[in-house]
Amino acid sequence: MLALLNITNFALISGLKVEFERGLNLLTGETGSGKSIIVDALGVLIGDRFSPELIRAGERHASVEGLFTLGAHPQAEAMLEEAGVAAGGRGDVELVIRRELSAEGRGRVFVNNRLATLALLRSLRPLLVDIHGQGTQQTLFDPDTHLELLDAFADLAAERDELAARFRRWASLDRELERLRRDEAEKFHLTDALHFQVSELEAARLVAGEDEQLEAERRRLANLEKLTELCGDAYNLTYEESDSTVARLRKLERQVEELSQYESSYRNYLEGLGTARAVLEDLAATLRDFSEGLTFSPARLTEIESRLAEIARLKRKYGGTIEGALEHLAASRERLRQLERTDERAEEVAKELVEARASYLEAAMRVHRARVESAGEFRRAVEQALKEVALEHARFEARVSSPAKLEAEDASKSFTATGFDRVEFYFSANAGVPLRPLAKVASGGEASRLMLVLKTSASPARFPRTIVFDEVDAGIGGRVSEAVGLKLKALSRTNQVLCVTHQAQIARFADTHLLVDKQQRRGRTEVGVEQIERRRRVEEIARMLTGAEITEAARRHAREMLKTA
C-alpha cells in the first residue's frame, strides 16, 4: 500500500506530505482545491511523464517521493534483485521511490535510494498503483488485464498454475530443439572453431596468476642495476661497514647489559635489543643472498616478454583474464562433447516435445472451456452491477477467442503461460449502440465506474495494490452515489483505495478522510491536506450536501449519514 506521499514544488504545491492508511482513503474539498493535483503527482511518481511545465512557477526543481509497503512479494523482490536494488524490511518489501526534475528538463529516478531507470519504475507500476479517472486508465484498456479479470472471476488460479508449469516444460524443450537443430546446421563450422580454440588454449598451458608472477620477474630484470645498487647499499649500512647498524646495536646491547648490573630495571630491554639485532642480521643475510642471485639474462627477459604478449593476446580473445580464458576452455570442451551427441539428443527432445505439447494443449483446453463458460456469468454479473452505478442501459461482454486449428504448426505462436486464448471486453453505455472494444467507447467517468464494477465483480483479492479513482462519481448522485460508495468500501477490504469525490454519499464511507484546501499565502497559492476526524467530518459532509452555507439541518443529516455508514 501507499503509506506516504511527499510532494515538493509540483504545480500549485510548494511542499506537502500526505499519509495514507489501509482501507478507503477519501479526498474531498472545494472544486479546484487541488485534489486532482495530488493524483497527478502520484501518477508521475509511478512513471507518467514529468515535464518542466509541472514545476511550480518560480522554482528550479520539483520532486515527488512515495513510500510503499507491499508485504511479502516475490515478484517485486525478483524485479528489484535483477535491477540491483535492495528491498527494505525483513521478509517484507518496502519501496521508497523518488522522482526529481529540473527546470532544464533533466530528471532522475531513485528506488530505495539507488539511482534507477524509468523502465524499472514502469515495470513496478502494475504491482503498486492502478489509477482510474479523468482519462488516466492504466489497465482497463489492456486486453491482458481483461484475461486476468475473467480468470479471477472464474477462480482459475490452480488451473493457471498447472498450465504455466506445462508451458514452461514445452517452451524449454522447444528452445532446446531449436538450438540443437541450429547446432546441426552449423555443426562442422562450430566443431572446427571449437577444436581450434581448445587446441590453442591447451597448447598455451595457462596457469592462474601466471601473468602477475611474470610481471614481477620482468620488473626485476628490467631494473637489475638499480636493485643491485640498493641491495649493496642496504647490506653495507646494515651489516658490512665497521659502523653498521648491527655493529652499533651490539655495542648498545653490551652497554645496556653492563648498566643493568647497577640498575636491574634495564634488564627488561635486553630481550628486545637482541630481537632487533636478530631481525637486522636476518635482513642482511637476505639482502646478500638476493644480491648474489641477481644476474642479468637477456634471453630470459625476451622469453618473459614473449610469454606475456601471448598471455595478453589470449586474454583479449577469451575473456579478459587468465581465469576467464580457462573458463572458456572448460566451456568449449563441454560444448564439443554436446555436439558429438547432437543427433541422439535431438531425437530424444523431439519425442519429449510432442508429449509436452499434447500435455500443454490438454491443460489449455480445460482453461479455455472454463473461460467460455464463465464469460456469460461474468457478463450478467457486470451488467447487473452497472445498473447500480447509473449505467442502466450499459451492455458488457467478455469475448474469448482462440486459434482455429490448434494442431497446426503455427498455432504454437499463440501459446503462452496463460493459455492460447485472447480475452477482450466489449462495452456499450447506451441503448441501441452496438458493442465495441472497451478502449474505443468508454469515457473517463464511465471507465472509472466500469473498473470499479469489474474489480468488485471479479475476485478483488487477486489485485492487492493501491487503486485510485479520480472523481468516479462524475455525473451521478443520490442512490447511485451510495451504491458507488458501497462498492468502494467493499473493494477497500482487500485493496487500499484512494478516491477523489464530491459526493457526501460516498464520503460517509471513508476509513480515512482527507480534506484538501487551497489558500493564499504571501501572494502565492498553496495546496494543503489535513486528515479530519468526527466533528470536522460532519462539517465537511454538511458542506458537500448544501454548498457554502451550512445549515443545522445539513449537520444533522451528516451525523445520521456517518452513523449509518
The answer to whether 13 and 7 have CB atoms below 8 angstroms apart is: yes
Residue with cell string 640498575: 263
Q: Which residues contact 519 (CB under 8 A, 6 or more apart)?
A: 525, 526, 528
CA-to-CA dists, residue 260 to 246, 256, 267, 440, angstroms: 21, 6, 5, 105
End-to-end CA distance of the chain: 24
| CA nearest to 446, candidates 429, 468, 425 | 429
- Residue 240 is given by DSSP the state I
Q: Can you give the pLDDT at residue 368?
A: 95
Amino acid sitting at position 218? R
CA 240 to CA 119: how far, in whole Å?
72
Full set of structural domains in the chain with CATH: 1-140+462-532 (3.40.50.300), 210-336 (no CATH)
Opening angle at CA 136, ends 493 and 494, nearest 5 = 10
- Give me the phi and psi of 15, to 5 degrees please: -160, 125
Q: What is the pLDDT of residue 138?
A: 53
The answer for residues whose C-beta is within 8 angstroms of residue 201's C-beta and 6 or more apart is 314, 318, 325, 326, 328, 329, 332
201 burial class (0-12, 13-18, 19+ CB within 10 angstroms)? buried
Residue ranges in the chain whose pLDDT is less than 50: 136, 461-463
Query: Chain centroid to CA 261: how far?
Result: 77
- Summarised one tens digit per residue, pLDDT across range 290-348 is 887 777 778 888 888 899 999 999 999 988 899 999 999 999 998 888 777 777 778 88
Q: How is residue 53 annotated by DSSP?
A: G
pLDDT recorded at residue 445 = 61
User: CA quadruple 415, 421, 426, 432: dihedral positive or negative?
Assistant: positive
Which pLDDT score, from 0 to 100, does residue 413 have? Answer: 85
Q: What is the pLDDT of residue 137?
A: 54
| Sequence-separated contacts (24+) of 102-110 with Cβ below 8 Å | 102/52, 102/60, 102/61, 103/52, 103/55, 103/59, 103/60, 103/61, 104/52, 105/51, 105/52, 107/50
**Residues in contact with 30: Cβ distance below 8 Å, sequence separation at least 6, in sequence order:** 517, 518
Q: Which three cell numbers mark 494? A: 482487500
